[in-house]
């Protein structure tokens, strides 16, 4: 976790240097959400890139291990309640679902022991009907499939064949980070930090504090029309990016 108040006070100090301008809590919270999602989404691209280059055997300095450690904050699991319809099972994905890693479908249980779990293969929703209609590709109890689709405001998955027990599906996924928020109360016309007033710290690894400050400062410089602040933050961002990818 990265303390949202620490980042806010640092960004304010940078913005207020030489009377550049003031960043309101509302502006900071908006910039903070954008910065956190930018860093979070970059993990997946970095992981793909680093897996294509030679690795070292030092866990603390291996780039793939470093990214995986940061993603460990977001790896979780959920048991999905059944909503079967004949041989078609549909399930609502959790509200904080971001990316699926594995879907397990349970077949049966013996006493307190669950057995017969199978890993489902993902297929694209557009190909789902053609796959189940073909005798050659039709899923089986030993080779189940799933597809993701959108239903109204909810993301759902279809599993075929249907699970034969309830709850029958275990979802392993990467959750979306909670939106950071600097909570405050107005005292004498000024915003004062209130840790119990809707405050949400950044859900990122502590090593990301500097990156958060840089990204938010860049956005703040654009907002207050301070080209110097935006440029300085951009240069620092490029320097860090080059260092990490070297």
pLDDT at residue 240 in the model: 62
- C-alpha to C-alpha distance for 119 and 117, rounded to whole angstroms: 7
pLDDT at residue 130 in the model: 93
pLDDT at residue 203 in the model: 95
- C-alpha to C-alpha distance for 157 and 120, rounded to whole angstroms: 11
pLDDT at residue 84 in the model: 47
Tell me 81's DSSP state: P
pLDDT at residue 142 in the model: 83
User: With a cut of 70, which residues of the chain have pLDDT below it?
Assistant: 17-21, 55-61, 82-88, 108-116, 164-167, 224-230, 232-233, 235-246
Tell me 23's DSSP state: -
- Is residue 47 within 8 A of residue 64, CB to CB? The reply is yes
* Residue 209 token pair: 């504090």
Residue 192 has phi, psi (to 5 degrees) of: -115, 135
Kindly report the three-state secondary structure assignment for every residue of 93-157: CCCCEEEEEEEEECCEEECCEEECCEECEECCHHHHHHHHHCCCCCCCCCCCEEEEEEECCEEEE
Domain boundaries, the chain: 4-47+57-71+199-245, 76-175
pLDDT at residue 230 in the model: 64
Query: Per residue in 166-216, pLDDT tens?
Result: 667 889 999 999 999 999 998 888 889 999 888 999 999 999 999 999 999
């Amino acid at each position: 976790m990265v303390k949202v108040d620490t980042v806010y006070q640092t960004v304010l100090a940078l913005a207020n240097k030489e009377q550049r301008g003031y960043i309101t809590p509302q502006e900071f919270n908006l910039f903070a959400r954008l910065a956190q999602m930018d860093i979070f989404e970059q993990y997946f691209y970095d992981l793909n890139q680093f897996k294509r280059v030679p690795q070292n055997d030092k866990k603390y300095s291996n780039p793939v291990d470093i990214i995986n450690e940061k993603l460990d904050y977001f790896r979780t699991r959920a048991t999905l309640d059944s909503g079967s319809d004949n041989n078609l099972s549909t399930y609502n994905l959790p509200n904080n679902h971001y990316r699926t890693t594995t879907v397990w479908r349970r077949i049966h249980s013996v006493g307190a022991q669950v057995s017969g779990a199978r890993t489902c293969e993902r297929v694209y929703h557009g190909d789902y009907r053609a796959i189940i209609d073909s005798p050659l590709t039709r899923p089986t109890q030993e080779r189940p499939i799933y597809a993701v689709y959108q239903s109204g405001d909810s993301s759902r998955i279809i599993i075929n064949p249907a699970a034969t027990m309830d709850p029958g599906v275990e979802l392993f996924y990467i959750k979306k980070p909670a939106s950071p928020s600097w909570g405050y109360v107005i005292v004498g016309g000024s915003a004062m930090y209130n840790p119990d007033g809707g405050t949400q710290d950044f859900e990122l690894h502590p090593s990301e504090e500097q990156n958060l400050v840089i990204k938010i400062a860049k956005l703040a410089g654009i907002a207050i029309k301070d080209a110097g602040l935006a440029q300085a933050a951009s240069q620092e961002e490029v320097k860090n990016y080059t260092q990490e990818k070297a």
